[in-house]
């Protein structure tokens, strides 16, 4: 239990962060738009809270810098988590509009041809694992990076506000410290997005301080952070944050970052979804069972083609490296997914994805037939 002195000290720390944020916001030497990456987790919510705070603190005539909130929906996010993210972002944007704050926002999604189901069931990509994690770049990095690059094209340069902290993990601390700020600046050039700079306003804040702040301070857009706190309690863990580069990718699909895709086969066990089931949300059990089944069938050779999609056969140390799932296996996965969707009662795969999948199957049948005649 925190003492009154602890709470006062924490508020003092956050007042200093607010002052720095105001200085950065008013700095005319780099008056580019801010892009706040918002996953809906505790750290990005804290950054959003502080940014909203400082805008309310500034007089209207000084609110000249445009701020964009960008979130990512892989379309296979943990349902409770993505629901919370969408609800909170909608509240932020609604309040910003009422208060006439220069805030806009968008949720990025992968292209239909690049979704999890289009690649797994349509093209037969084997379920992702640590050695072949094809999902992160296509579902997370590419959609949000494209949004950022569009803003760079529109404005020349942008500044990304990330809710990353050294206290998250030893790996994250080492990653942060490996990037050098510009001289006399809090900004770091992004490693892969040209003309995008990174600003980490809560980089030195501890996890305990994050929670202390969120518990004792209601969000400036209204309501409280109680739903967020409860989400973490039920899920027994942390989040898979919004990822912008391969440097961030190790935090996705690890046992220490458990708010991610419900289909994630990179982790040994989906602890967050299991946590929801354990507290009585048994409607998620079919999703858990389906995900575990995907892990089981991945390396069963009877479900895999011997050729890769480009027609090549790959050998390693005299052993065949199997290619994608067979069309029969893809059809089996699709049928089971549709059963799970009926049982769950909410859409898990879109009509557009189903259309792409069936078109891809038809193309693959024709290509395999022509290859067999050659």
Model confidence pLDDT, tens digit, residues 51-66: 999 999 999 999 999 9
Last residue of a domain, one of 251, 286, 314: 251
The answer, yes or no, to whether residue 152 has pLDDT greater than 50, is yes
Whether 29 and 140 map to the same domain: the answer is yes
What is the pLDDT at residue 253? Answer: 52
- The pLDDT, as a whole number, for residue 268 is 83
pLDDT at 321: 77
Q: For residue 257, is it within any domain?
A: no
Based on the structure, what is the number of domains in the chain? Answer: 2
The answer on 217 and 163 residing in a single domain is yes
pLDDT at 211: 94
> pLDDT tens for residues 32-50?
999 999 999 999 999 999 9
Residue 247 belongs to some domain of the structure: yes
Q: Are residues 155 and 192 in the same domain?
A: yes
**What pLDDT, on a 0 to 100 scale, did the predictor assign at position 261?**
93
Structural domain range at position 87: 4-251
197 and 299 inside one domain: no
Residues 146, 193 contacting (CB under 8 angstroms): no
The predicted-structure confidence for 302-331, as pLDDT tens digits, reads as follows: 999 988 777 777 777 777 778 999 999 999
Same domain, 244 and 294: no
Which tokens sit at 112?
């239909």
Q: How far apart are CA 364 and CA 374, in angstroms?
A: 15
Per-residue pLDDT tens for 78-127?
999 999 999 999 999 999 999 999 999 999 999 999 999 999 999 999 99
280 and 141 within one domain: no
| CATH number of domain containing 244 | 3.40.50.620
Confidence of residue 172 (pLDDT cuts 50, 70, 90): low
Q: Determine the pLDDT at residue 256.
A: 44
85 part of a folded domain:
yes
198 lies in the same domain as 289:
no
Q: Choose the final residue of a domain: 190, 220, 251.
A: 251
Count the helices and strands in the chain (H runs, E runs).
13, 8
Express each pLDDT in 208-230 by its tens digit.
999 999 999 999 999 999 999 99
- Decide if 263 is inside a domain: no
Domain membership flag for residue 102: yes
Verify that 228 and 330 share a domain, yes or no. Answer: no
> How much is the mean pLDDT over the chain?
89
**Same domain (yes/no): 314, 219:** no
The verdict on 77 and 153 lying in the same domain is yes
- Do 192 and 74 share a structural domain? yes
- Residue 188 predicted with pLDDT over 80: yes
Q: Which residues, including other chains, have CB under 8 Å from residue 224's CB and lie 6 or more apart?
A: 218
In a domain, 119, yes or no: yes
* Domain's final residue, options 216, 251, 286: 251
Element (H, E) at 67: strand 67-72
Is the pLDDT at 176 greater than 90? The verdict is no
| Cβ proximity of 129 and 266 under 8 Å | yes
258, part of any domain: no
pLDDT at residue 245 in the model: 62
Residue 321 lies in a domain: yes
Are 89 and 211 within one domain? yes
Residues 348-371 pLDDT 10s:
999 999 999 999 999 999 887 777
- Whether 26 contacts 55, CB under 8 Å: no
């Amino acid at each position: 239990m925190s003492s009154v002195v602890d709470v006062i000290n924490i508020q003092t720390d956050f007042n200093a962060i607010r002052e720095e944020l105001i200085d950065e916001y008013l700095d005319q030497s780099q008056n580019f738009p801010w892009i706040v990456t918002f996953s809906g987790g505790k750290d990005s919510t804290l950054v959003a809270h502080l940014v909203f705070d400082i805008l309310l603190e500034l007089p209207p005539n000084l609110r000249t810098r445009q701020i964009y909130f960008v979130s990512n929906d892989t379309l296979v996010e943990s349902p409770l988590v993505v629901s919370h993210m969408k609800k909170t972002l909608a509240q932020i944007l609604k309040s910003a509009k009422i208060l006439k704050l220069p805030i806009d926002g968008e949720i990025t999604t992968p292209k239909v041809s690049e979704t999890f189901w289009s690649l797994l069931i349509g093209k037969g990509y084997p379920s992702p694992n640590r050695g072949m994690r094809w999902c992160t770049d296509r579902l997370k990095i590419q959609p949000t990076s494209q949004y950022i690059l569009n803003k760079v094209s529109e404005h020349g340069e942008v500044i990304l506000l990330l809710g990353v902290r050294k206290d998250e993990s030893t790996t994250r601390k080492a990653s942060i410290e490996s990037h050098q700020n510009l001289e006399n600046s809090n900004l770091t050039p992004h490693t892969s997005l040209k003309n995008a700079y990174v600003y980490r306003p809560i980089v030195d804040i501890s996890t305990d301080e994050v929670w202390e702040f969120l518990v004792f301070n209601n969000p400036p857009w209204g309501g409280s952070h109680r739903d967020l706190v409860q989400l973490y309690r039920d899920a027994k863990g942390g989040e898979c944050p919004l990822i912008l580069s391969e440097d961030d990718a190790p935090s996705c699909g690890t046992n220490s970052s458990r708010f991610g895709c419900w289909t994630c086969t990179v982790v040994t066990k989906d602890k967050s979804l299991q946590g929801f089931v354990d507290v009585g949300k048994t409607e998620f059990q079919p999703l858990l069972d389906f995900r575990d089944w995907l892990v089981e069938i991945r390396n069963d050779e009877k479900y895999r083609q011997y050729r890769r999609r480009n027609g090549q056969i790959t050998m390693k140390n005299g052993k065949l490296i199997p290619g994608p799932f067979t069309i029969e296996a893809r059809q089996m996965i699709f049928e089971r997914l549709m059963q799970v969707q009926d049982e769950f009662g909410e859409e898990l795969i879109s009509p557009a994805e189903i259309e792409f999948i069936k078109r891809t199957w038809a193309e693959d049948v024709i290509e395999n037939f022509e290859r067999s005649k050659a």
